[in-house]
Amino acid sequence: MFFLRLQESVTSSRIWRERMSDRVDPITEEKESEVKAQDLQEDAAEKEETQEVLKTDALAEIPADEIPDEDFLAEPAEDEIVKEEELLKAEPEAETETETAAESPAEAVSGEAPEESATEEGSSGLMKKLAAFSNMSLRKKIAVGCGAAACVLAVVYIGIAQTYKTKFIEGTSINGIDAGKKTVSEVEDEIEKTVENYSLKLSFRDNRTETIDGDAFDYQYVSDGGVQKLLDEQNIYTWIGGALFGSEKSYTVDEDTQFNEQKLVEGLSNLPEMKTENQVAPTDAYLLLDETTKRYNIVPETEGNVLNVEAVQAYAKSAVSGSVETVDLAQAADTYAAPAIRANDEGLNSQQAALNAFLSTSITYTLPEGTQVLDANVLDGWISVDDNGYRYVDEEHIAECVDQYVADLASAVDVEKETSTFASTNRGMVEVDNNEYVIKINQDAEKEKLLEEVLGNTVTQREPVYSRKDETQDPTFGGTYVEIDIDNQTVYYYEDGQCLVETPCVTGTGSVPRRSTPTGVFHIYDKQRSRTLYGDIQPDGSYGYASFVNYWMRFCGGCGLHDATWRDSFGGDIYWDSGSHGCVNLPYEAAAQMYEIVEEGTPCIVF
């Protein structure tokens, strides 16, 4: 088409010129010059027309957005145009002379041209064109030749590019598949082949794996038009890069697939790992007492292999939907039932620390018969355990355990004797009834002290808190005591073996047994100033007596030592018929002296 249009344009121009030059018309010298000048202008116009035709035909084959620059068919330089004009000036003169010589006089007069056939006219026009080309300069010939060659190459390049409207350029890769010179359907066939080999591999705990073939759940490729879109967006005029220079372009399109979810779920349920009979439940971490060290250690949790069915199905569906071939269920979150308490649990570790601190408590009691140790062997039994097996230290429960422990300790340690040997002041060694303990633990005080030590995780060695303690059965009761000699009606107070007080007294009425002073080993239980002592209540509601005393020192029941300001004398046989109701009456001065120096708890021996 391009060459036909070019040929028609040149031929039309030349025929017109030949007809104009063949006319018989009396022309003067001046007229001929005008004609030559006109020919030069026509040649220039013809040249311009030729170039426009070249551009129009070449560009007609190129899409609007890829039209080459104007420099593709650029105009010749200005100096070349000048040279061409000079050559064209000479050409009409030579042609005119030749044509004039060939004309007959008759033709010149009539002005009519002889009739010639179409063949002769075409041949004559072609010869003229060849003659004109032969008269061109070398540079002009090269320019014209290059222009023609460029047009040919452009047409060829464009023609080849058109072939890539239905196939991919060499060097194109789609999803790892060589798509060069392949159509959309061919590429999609290749993708489908890879999909046909799909299988899902599942990894479980204990290094177990299972594989389900895609055919089992109707897995197949479904085109989403992605490959066609890549072809539509392909720039076909870049074909030369892949074809000749090996340039590569890689693309990735979605490999849309479809599958039967129900069949996938059925395939999963048939796996041995999904069977309940093959699963072992997880266990929580817990504390266990080491019987050798008496310390609690953490026993780690066990993971088990109970699967979360819904989570497994979700992971499998997601993998198949994304064409993922492997799923590591052993590492995936929430696929297995998990222990509620792990070895690194903060609460469990705090519990371990608290229990072991409690069991570190050690109280070694020094006793008359040896030692007794309260440590983890006993304390572990004091630890509380709830319904879930959780172990903890409950202070209220510990207090109850301490109470029972001290009671048991006192039962084993406390000593009560029927008689005690006493070294009296005037009667030598005497046997005295002993209706009190020789050794007695003060349980209230010991409970309070022991509870504080246990809850404080104390390690110590000590004696129990005693209310009385006479390990050696010293006849002098350690050298500090109150001695009441009924036969001699005398009271003595010894301190560290020294007699500080010796005074006569009046004891209970000897002739009236119910009013006699009780005998035995006692202690000064309490002291009080300015107290009124009352006798038994009489039938009329009055007291048998009411006696005010300044100094009161109780040693047994309602009996005690006190001043008796209503008496004028003490000692002798007064007590036998005019004695007290059981108390020991003292002169005021003696009672005041003893009250100041005798302490509560001091042994009091009455015989």
Q: What amino acid is encoded at 535 in this protein?
A: G
Q: What is the pLDDT of residues 121-143, one digit of tens each?
A: 555 655 665 555 566 667 777 87
For 285-288, the CB contacts below 8 A with 24+ separation are 285/339, 285/341, 285/342, 285/343, 285/345, 285/348, 286/341, 286/348, 286/389, 287/348, 287/351, 287/352, 287/355, 287/391
- pLDDT attached to residue 52: 54
Q: Which helix (H) or strand (E) holds 439?
A: strand 437-441
Q: Looking at the DSSP assignment, which residues form a beta bridge with residue 549? A: 531
**Residue 559 or 537, more confident:** 559
Confidence at residue 28, expressed as pLDDT on a 0 to 100 scale? 43
Paired with 481 in beta bridges are: 494
Per 3-state DSSP, what percentage of the chain is helix, strand, and coil (rounded to 5)?
45, 25, 30
Lowest-pLDDT range of 77-81, 246-250, 357-361, 416-420: 77-81
How does residue 408 score in pLDDT terms, banded at 50, 70 and 90? Answer: very high
Q: State the angle between helix axes of 2-22 and 78-102 in degrees (0 to 180), rounded to the nearest 10.
A: 50
pLDDT computed for residue 259 by the predictor: 93
Q: Residue 196 has what pLDDT? A: 76
In the chain, % of residues over pLDDT 70: 76
Give me the pLDDT at residue 392, please.
93
Name residue, tokens 């399109």: 253
Predicted confidence at residue 137, as pLDDT, reads 66
Higher pLDDT, 198 or 90: 198
Confidence check: pLDDT of 98 > 80: no
Sequence-distant (≥ 6) Cβ neighbours of residue 194 within 8 angstroms: 175, 177, 255
Concatenate the DSSP letters of all residues of 144-183 into one string: HHHHHHHHHHHHHHHHHHHGGGSSBPTTEEETTEE-BT--
Residue whose C-alpha is closest to residue 604's, from 489, 501, 504, 477: 477
For the cut 70, the answer to whether the pLDDT of residue 208 exceeds it is: yes
Tokens representing residue 134 in the block: 């032969």
Distance CA 334, CA 284 (A): 17
CATH number for the domain running over 476-606: 2.40.440.10
Res 228: pLDDT: 92
Lowest mean pLDDT among 88-97, 437-446, 457-466, 490-499: 88-97
Residue 108 reports pLDDT greater than 60:
no
Q: β-strands 415-416, 391-392: how paired?
A: unpaired
Q: Is the pLDDT of residue 369 over 60?
A: yes
pLDDT band at 26 (very low <50, low <70, confident <90, very high): very low
User: Which pLDDT belongs to residue 433?
Assistant: 86
Q: What local confidence, expressed as pLDDT, does residue 30 receive? A: 54
86, pLDDT greater than 70:
no
Stronger pLDDT, 530 or 111, i.e. the higher one? 530
Q: Where are the domains of the chain?
A: 2-165, 172-278, 476-606
Residue 159 predicted with pLDDT over 50: yes
Q: Judge if pTM exceeds 0.85.
A: no
Whether pLDDT at 12 is above 50: no
The pairing of beta strand 584-586 with beta strand 559-563? parallel
Q: Is residue 53's pLDDT more than 60? A: no
